[in-house]
C-alpha cells in the first residue's frame, strides 16, 4: 500500500449515536488515499465494538483501544500511528463533506503549502445549519510575518468584525504536515488540565510552518452537542479555563516578542473570561445575589483588569464596546443583562 495522503485521527468517547454519521463521511471521501485512525478512549458504550467492525470492513481503518485520558491525549495516541503525508483531526460527533480532504489536499499541493484550512458549519439539526464564514476567497499566508499575523487573528479578535476571533482556533477543519509535527515533537495538552488545547497546538505548529492556505468552502460540520465537554460547565471547567489564561502568555513567549502578541493576547484573555462569565450567568446555579457577588469578584482579577485597561474601546463595534464597558467599569447588573439578552436572542 502506498503512503496515505492524509491520516485522519478520530478520538472516540460515548458517541454511539453519532459515530456512524462521522465514519460514513470519512469512508466515502473522494480522496481515497487516506487512513482513518480511530482512538477508542475507553468508551463506555458500544463504540469499541463499532470501531473493530469498521476496521474489519475497510483496511484503511486502524483502531487503538486505550485507557481514558481525554481528547488531547487520544489525539496524541493517534499521532503515534500516523503514516500519512498529512494529518487531520475530526471529533467523532462531527462530520465532514465527502470532498473535504480532496479539496484541502489539492489546494495544498498546488500551492506548496504546509497546511490548509477550510470553514465550518454549525450543525444544530438537518434543518438548522449555520455556515461560519471566515474568509470570502482563497488565501495564502507565506513567510514568518504573514503566518504570525494569521496566528494572531486566530488568537484575538479583529476590531472590524463582530465575532470573537477572525479565524476559529479549532483543529478539525485543516490538514497539517506530518513532517512538521514529528520533527518538532508537537503534541496536544490535556484538556482535563488546560482548556483551549487547540489554541496551544496551533501556536506550536504555526510557529514552524512557512506556507499556510485557507479555502472559503464550508466543508466541516460541527455538531452542537449540548452534552459535550465544550458545552458543559463545572468547577473543573473553571479551573481549566483559568489554567489556560495563566499559561498562554508564557507559551507565546517561546516564539514571539511581547510587543507583537500583547494586544492579541489581551483580546484572548478577555475572550476566555467572557466564556467563564457567560457560563456562570447562563447556568443559573446561584441566587441572583450570590451570582452578582461571584461575578463582581471575577471582574477584580488582576489579569483581566490589565487586559481590559489596555484595549482601545473606541475601535470596537457597539455591541462589543457595551460588553467591555460593563467589564471595565465592573457594572455587574449590565453585564448579566447583556448575557441574558444574548442567550434569549440565540
Tens digit of pLDDT for each residue in 54-101? Answer: 999 999 999 999 999 999 999 999 999 999 999 999 999 999 999 999
Q: Flag whether pLDDT at 229 surpasses 60.
A: no
Please tell me the predicted confidence (pLDDT) of residue 232.
Answer: 59
Q: Flag whether pLDDT at 230 surpasses 70.
A: no
Joined together, the cell numbers standing for residue 327 give: 467589564
Tens of pLDDT, residue by residue over 120-176, are: 999 999 999 999 989 889 999 999 999 999 999 999 865 555 555 578 999 999 999
Please tell me the predicted confidence (pLDDT) of residue 220.
Answer: 98
* For residues 247-267, average pLDDT: 93
126: in domain = yes
| 57 plus 199 within the same structural domain | yes
1: in domain = no
| 263 plus 145 within the same structural domain | no
Q: Flag whether pLDDT at 183 surpasses 90.
A: yes
User: Of 330 and 158, which is predicted with more confidence?
Assistant: 330
Instruction: State the pLDDT confidence band at 200, using cuts at 50, 70 and 90.
Output: very high
Spatial contact of 215 and 118, defined as CB atoms under 8 Å apart = yes
Q: Flag whether pLDDT at 231 surpasses 60.
A: no
HEC string of the chain equals: CCCCCEEEEEEECCCCCCHHHHHHHHHCCCCCCEEEEEEECCCCCCHHHHHHHHHHHCCCEEEEECCCCCHHHHHHHHHCCCCCCEEEECCCCCEECCCHHHHHHHHHHHCCCCEEEEEEEEEEECCEEEEECCCCCCEEEECHHHHHHHHHHHHCCCCCCCCCCCCCCCCCCEEEEHHHHHHCCCCCCCCCCCCCHHHHHHHHHHCCCCEEEEEEEEEEEEECCCCCCCCCCCHHHHHHHHHHHHHHHHHHHCCCCHHHHHHHHHHHHHHHHHHHHHHHHHHCCCCHHHHHHHHHHHCCCHHHHHHHHHCCHHHCCHHHHHHHHHHHCCCHHHHHHHHHHHHHHC
| 257 plus 278 within the same structural domain | yes
Other Cβ atoms less than 10 A from the Cβ of 340: the count is 14
* For residues 315-334, average pLDDT: 89
| 181 plus 255 within the same structural domain | no
| 51 plus 181 within the same structural domain | yes
Joined together, the cell numbers standing for residue 149 give: 499575523
Final residue belonging to a domain, choices 173, 190, 223: 223
Final residue belonging to a domain, choices 223, 253, 284: 223
241: in domain = yes
229: in domain = no
Q: Flag whether pLDDT at 284 surpasses 70.
A: no
Please tell me the predicted confidence (pLDDT) of residue 286.
Answer: 73
* For residues 21-45, average pLDDT: 97
| 215 plus 278 within the same structural domain | no
228: in domain = no
* For residues 6-33, average pLDDT: 97
**pTM, to two decimals:** 0.90
**How many angstroms separate the CA atoms of 249 and 264, rounded?**
11
| 114 plus 142 within the same structural domain | yes
Please tell me the predicted confidence (pLDDT) of residue 313.
Answer: 79
61: in domain = yes
**How many angstroms separate the CA atoms of 65 and 330, rounded?**
49
Q: Flag whether pLDDT at 1 surpasses 70.
A: no
Number of domains in the chain: 2
| 164 plus 259 within the same structural domain | no
| 325 plus 249 within the same structural domain | yes
Joined together, the cell numbers standing for residue 219 give: 466543508
Task: Name, of 86-90, 272-276, 339-343, the range with top average pLDDT.
Answer: 86-90
**How many angstroms separate the CA atoms of 99 and 346, rounded?**
31
First to last CA, the chain: 49
What residue numbers bound the domain in which 73 lies?
6-223
| 240 plus 128 within the same structural domain | no
274: in domain = yes
Please tell me the predicted confidence (pLDDT) of residue 16.
Answer: 96
Residue 192 is part of a domain; what is its CATH number? 3.90.550.10
| 218 plus 248 within the same structural domain | no
188: in domain = yes
* For residues 313-335, average pLDDT: 88
* For residues 290-305, average pLDDT: 92
**Percent of the chain predicted with pLDDT > 90:** 73
Please tell me the predicted confidence (pLDDT) of residue 319.
Answer: 84
| 126 plus 269 within the same structural domain | no
* Mean pLDDT for all residues in the chain: 91
Amino acid at each position: 500500500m502506498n503512503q496515505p495522503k492524509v491520516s485522519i485521527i478520530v478520538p472516540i468517547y460515548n458517541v454511539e449515536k453519532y459515530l456512524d454519521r462521522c465514519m460514513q463521511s470519512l469512508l466515502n471521501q473522494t480522496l481515497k488515499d487516506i487512513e482513518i485512525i480511530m482512538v477508542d478512549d475507553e468508551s463506555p458504550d458500544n463504540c469499541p465494538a463499532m470501531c473493530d467492525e469498521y476496521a474489519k470492513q475497510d483496511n484503511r481503518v486502524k483502531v487503538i483501544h486505550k485507557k481514558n485520558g481525554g481528547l488531547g491525549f487520544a489525539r496524541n495516541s493517534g499521532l503515534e500511528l500516523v503514516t500519512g503525508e498529512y494529518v487531520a483531526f475530526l471529533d467523532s460527533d462531527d462530520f465532514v463533506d465527502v470532498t473535504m480532504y480532496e479539496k484541502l489536499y489539492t489546494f495544498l499541493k498546488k500551492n506548496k503549502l504546509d497546511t490548509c484550512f477550510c470553514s465550518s458549519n454549525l450543525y444544530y439539526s438537518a434543518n438548522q445549519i449555520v455556515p461560519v464564514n471566515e474568509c470570502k476567497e482563497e488565501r495564502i499566508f507565506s513567510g514568518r510575518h504573514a503566518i504570525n499575523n494569521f496566528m494572531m487573528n486566530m488568537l484575538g479578535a479583529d476590531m472590524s468584525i463582530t465575532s470573537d476571533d477572525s479565524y476559529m482556533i479549532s483543529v478539525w477543519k485543516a490538514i497539517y504536515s506530518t513532517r512538521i509535527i514529528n520533527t518538532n515533537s508537537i503534541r496536544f495538552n490535556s484538556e482535563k488540565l488546560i482548556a483551549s488545547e487547540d489554541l496551544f497546538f496551533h501556536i506550536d505548529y504555526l510557529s514552524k510552518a512557512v506556507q499556510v492556505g485557507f479555502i472559503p468552502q464550508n466543508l466541516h460540520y460541527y455538531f452542537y452537542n449540548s452534552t459535550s465537554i465544550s458545552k458543559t460547565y463545572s468547577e473543573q471547567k473553571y479551573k481549566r479555563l483559568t489554567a489556560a489564561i495563566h499559561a498562554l502568555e508564557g507559551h507565546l513567549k517561546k516564539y514571539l516578542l511581547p510587543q507583537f502578541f500583547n494586544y492579541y493576547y489581551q483580546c484572548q484573555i478577555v475572550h476566555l473570561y467572557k466564556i467563564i462569565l457567560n457560563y456562570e450567568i447562563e447556568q443559573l446555579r446561584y441566587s441572583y445575589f450570590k451570582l452578582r457577588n461571584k461575578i463582581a469578584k471575577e471582574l477584580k482579577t488582576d489579569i483581566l483588569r490589565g487586559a481590559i485597561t489596555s484595549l482601545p474601546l473606541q475601535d470596537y463595534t457597539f455591541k462589543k464596546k457595551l460588553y467591555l464597558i460593563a467589564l471595565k467599569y465592573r457594572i455587574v447588573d449590565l453585564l448579566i443583562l447583556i448575557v441574558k439578552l444574548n442567550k434569549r436572542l440565540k
